[in-house]
Structure 1
Amino acid sequence: MDMGFAGRRALITGASQGIGEGLARSFASEGCDLSLVARSAEKLEALAGELRSAHGVKVDVLSLDMTKAGAIGDIIAFAGHADILVNNAGAIPTGTLWEVDEDAWRSGWELKVFGYINLTRAMYAEMKARGRGVILNNIGNGAQNFDFNYIAGTTGNAALMAFTCALGGRSLEDGIRVVGVNPGPVATERIARVLKGHAVRLLGDEARSGELLARYPLGRAATAAEIADLFVYLASSRSNYTTGTIITVDGGITSKRSVA
């Protein structure tokens, strides 16, 4: 299936590892040029070289901390011409209301919540001037599964769902689509750390994290490629009527609730 990415460019934040790396690989495999942003210059350069060699696409990289003053302007100068923005940078800390203090809460939201909002605001203006564009927000199914032990994240993700739907409800008037994706657990280093923490809290031993993993659908977390390929489809011309909505891909976890 031709996704129509020839001559198009995707700007991906948090692109050096995890889902972000998976996103870069999936978009490159479809012939999409890339602008990759993350903190680690070494990881970005290594990934960029691999993708150029494997797929013959153009890949530019920018290493910076998105929470620093002026970072959004730097990103726009670097890749404001991109056709697609994928907001992916950031991980909000786990913990209860008393375990996540104000500083940690604000720090987590500064990158993921306000980072998404501020970069979207800037990129939307660029896209509106051209009359076209796609903005995709990688949010997380914690937005739909309110979690006492992930209170800063579940609250932040819910805010990003509302932001995405509010903006995307009218964005087609400007030729822009805005869509959110809520992945469930994904096989990354982060989910391994989270499961170890849960195993300590629930089972008293981080070595038993595999028991928690086995409870997921199919007995595993999703692969990064399974998530990234959905983003590719949503960014493509095959999905031109999709905006102002959230798509959850978590093996049915969110829909598994039952009163019995």
Structure 2
Amino acid sequence: MDLLLRGRTALITGGSKGIGRAAAESMAAEGCDVILVSRTQGALEEAAGAIRSRFQVNVRVHAADIAVQGTAEDIAARFPEIDILVNNAGAIPGGSLAQVDGTTWRQSWQLKVFGYIDMCRAFYPLLKARSPYAAGSGATAPREAAAAPFVPSIVNVVGNAAETLDQAYICGVTGNAALYAFTRSLGGTAPNDGLRVVGLSPGPVATDRLIGLMKKKSADRTGDADRWQELFSPMPFGRAATPEEIGDMIAFLASPRSGFTSGTIVTIDGGMAARSRAF
């Protein structure tokens, strides 16, 4: 399926590895130019080189810490021409209420919660200005979805902890729940401005970050961090999702093939959040 992304430009935070890199690769495979943003220049250059060699698209990188106030505005000033914003950077640690101190709560939310909000605030007016459906444009969508003009979009990668409510990941549960509400609220009225805002909520994904969280959980439960792989056994299909499965969905949600999607959260977790147990 052609996602009709050729010639577009997507900016992806947390784009040097994991889900962000997978999303960049999925979009690049569709002919979409990408801008990768993360904190580590070396990792960005490695990812960019690999993507360029595989897909022959324009790949730019920018090393920045989105947790620092003012960074989002600086990024928007550097790259005002994007068509798609993917908010993906975030590293909220595991732990119960007693285990996560107040400083850690605030530092974690600076990146994932306030970082997402800041990026949306900085890029929303720029995306609106590029939309064929912006107020006053006079444009109306044709009946055929494939022929509809491209609509600029924001995809917020959140996480299903907002639904599973795992108290051993309470800082992430609460932050993700806030981003669920933020995404739905912004996406509900974004079409009035000719934009779409959607959320993607992955369950466990086999990234370096997940392995770190699983080691922490294994140490808490068994006293042995090296037994973390045993915790995958009760998961759907006995595994975590692959980054590529999530990256492909990000590309689809950002594309005109999903052009009537806004103000909603798509959960990909093998059914984990939908499980109901009496005991």
Normalising by structure 2, we get a TM-score of 0.90
Q: What is the aligned-residue RMSD (CA, Å)?
A: 1.1
Does structure 2 retain, via aligned residues, the 8 Å contact 1:164–1:179? yes
Secondary structure of 1:11's aligned partner: strand
What CA deviation, in whole Å up to 9, does each residue of 1:57-113 have, x standing for no partner? 001110011122431122112222110000001111111122111111000000000
Structure-2 residue corresponding to 1:193:
212
Structure-1 residue corresponding to 2:13:
13
Structure-2 residue corresponding to 1:57:
57
Does structure 2 retain, via aligned residues, the 8 Å contact 1:8–1:32? yes
Aligned counterpart in structure 2 of residue 163 of structure 1, from 177, 182, 204: 182
Secondary structure of 2:191's aligned partner: helix
Structure-1 residue corresponding to 2:83:
83
| 1:137 positional shift | 0.3
| Letter aligned with residue 214 of structure 1 | S
Secondary structure of 2:221's aligned partner: helix
Q: Which runs of 5+ in 1 are unaligned?
A: none
| Letter aligned with residue 264 of structure 2 | T
Q: Which runs of 5+ in 2 are unaligned?
A: 132-150
Aligned counterpart in structure 1 of residue 159 of structure 2, from 135, 140, 147: 140
| 1:22 positional shift | 1.0
Residue 153 (str. 1) matches residue 158 (str. 2): no
Structure-1 residue corresponding to 2:103:
103
Normalising by structure 1, we get a TM-score of 0.97
Residue 183 (str. 1) matches residue 202 (str. 2): yes
Does structure 1 retain, via aligned residues, the 8 Å contact 2:28–2:34? yes
What CA deviation, in whole Å up to 9, does each residue of 1:219-248 have, x standing for no partner? 111000001101111011101100000010
Secondary structure of 1:221's aligned partner: coil
Does structure 2 retain, via aligned residues, the 8 Å contact 1:62–1:78? no
What CA deviation, in whole Å up to 9, does each residue of 1:193-231 have, x standing for no partner? 111111121222222212111221111110000011011
| Letter aligned with residue 208 of structure 2 | E
Secondary structure of 1:60's aligned partner: strand
Secondary structure of 1:144's aligned partner: helix
Aligned length: 260
| 1:46 positional shift | 1.3
Query: d(CA) in 1 for partners of 2:14 and 2:250?
Result: 15
Query: d(CA) in 2 for partners of 1:108 and 1:7?
Result: 35
What CA deviation, in whole Å up to 9, does each residue of 1:29-59 have, x standing for no partner? 1111001100111111111111112111001
Does structure 1 retain, via aligned residues, the 8 Å contact 2:94–2:216? no
Structure-1 residue corresponding to 2:32:
32
Moved over 3 A (4+): none
Residue 239 (str. 1) matches residue 258 (str. 2): yes
Residue 173 (str. 1) matches residue 209 (str. 2): no
Query: d(CA) in 2 for partners of 1:109 and 1:202?
Result: 26
Which range is displaced more, 17-26 or 232-241? Answer: 17-26
Query: d(CA) in 1 for partners of 2:272 and 2:72?
Result: 35
Structure-2 residue corresponding to 1:118:
118
